[in-house]
Amino acid sequence: MAPSSSSTSNSNLSLLLLFLLFFAAPWAKALNFTRQDFPREFVFGAGTSAYQYEGATDEDGRSPSIWDTFTHAGKMPDKSTGDTAAGGYHKYKEDVKLISDTGLEAYHFSISWSRLLPRGRGPVNPKGLEYYNSLIDELVKQGIEIHVTLYHLDFPQILEDEYHGWLSPRVIEDFTAYADVCFREFGDRVKHWTTMDEPNVLAIAAYDSGAFPPCRCSPPFGINCTAGDSTVEPYVVAHNSILAHASVVKLYREKYQATQKGFVGMNVYSFWTYPISLSSADIAATQRALDFMIGWILDPLVYGDYPEIMKKKAGSRIPSFTKEQSELIRGGTDFIGINHYTSVYINDASNGEKTDLRDYNADMSAVFRTSRNDTPSGQFVPTSIPVDPQGLQYMLEYLRDTYPGIPVYIQENGKGQFGKKDSLNDTDRVEYLSRYMGSALAALRNGANVKGYFVWSFLDEFELLAGYHSPFGLYHVDFEDPNLPRQPKLSAQWYSKFLRSEIGVNIINMISADEHEHADI
Ligand SMILES: *[C@@H]1O[C@H](CO)[C@@H](O)[C@H](O)[C@H]1NC(C)=O
Ligand SMILES: *[C@@H]1O[C@H](CO)[C@@H](O)[C@H](O)[C@H]1NC(C)=O
Ligand SMILES: *[C@@H]1O[C@H](CO)[C@@H](O)[C@H](O)[C@H]1NC(C)=O
pLDDT average, residue stretch 282-286:
94
The CB density around residue 451, as the number of other CB atoms within 10 Å, is 19
> Per-residue pLDDT tens for 332-347?
999 999 999 999 889 8
Domains, in order of start, for the chain: 5-515 (3.20.20.80)
Q: What is the pLDDT of residue 5?
A: 33
pLDDT level of residue 227 (50, 70, 90 thresholds): very high
pTM of the model: 0.91
Which of 235-239, 272-276, 298-302 has the weakest average pLDDT? Answer: 272-276
pLDDT level of residue 288 (50, 70, 90 thresholds): very high
Find out whether the beta carbon of 77 lies less than 6 Å from any atom of ligand 1.
yes
pLDDT average, residue stretch 221-239:
90
> Per-residue pLDDT tens for 267-278?
999 999 999 888
pLDDT average, residue stretch 492-502:
97
138 is catalytic: no
Residue 129 burial (C-beta neighbours within 10 Å; 0-12, 13-18, 19+): middle
Q: What is the pLDDT of residue 510?
A: 55
pLDDT level of residue 420 (50, 70, 90 thresholds): confident
**Catalytic, out of 412, 431, 461, 517:** 412
- How far is residue 369 from each of residues 195, 378, 466, measured CA to CA in Å? 30, 8, 21
Which helix (H) or strand (E) segment is 443 a member of?
helix 427-445
Q: Would the CA dihedral through 151, 207, 65, 478 be positive or negative?
A: negative
pLDDT average, residue stretch 226-234:
93
Residue 299 has phi, psi (to 5 degrees) of -55, -50
Mean of the per-residue pLDDT values of the chain: 89
User: How far is C-alpha 270 from the chain's CA centre?
Assistant: 8
> Per-residue pLDDT tens for 373-416?
655 444 444 445 578 898 999 999 999 999 999 999 999 999 99
Find out whether the beta carbon of 222 lies less than 6 Å from any atom of ligand 1.
yes
The CB density around residue 504, as the number of other CB atoms within 10 Å, is 14
pLDDT level of residue 357 (50, 70, 90 thresholds): low
Find out whether the beta carbon of 447 lies less than 6 Å from any atom of ligand 1.
no
Find out whether the beta carbon of 485 lies less than 6 Å from any atom of ligand 1.
no
Question: Rounded distance, CA 258 to CA 416, Å?
Answer: 41
**Catalytic, out of 105, 160, 198, 431:** 198
Q: What is the pLDDT of residue 9?
A: 40
Which helix (H) or strand (E) segment is 45 a member of?
strand 43-47
**Whether residue 494 has pLDDT greater than 80:** yes
198 is catalytic: yes
8 Å CB contact between 519 and 382: yes
> Per-residue pLDDT tens for 52-100?
999 999 999 999 999 999 999 999 988 999 999 999 999 999 999 999 9
Ligand that comes closest to the CA of residue 467 = 1
The CB density around residue 173, as the number of other CB atoms within 10 Å, is 12
pLDDT average, residue stretch 501-516:
66
Residue 506 CA: which ligand 3 atom is closest? 2
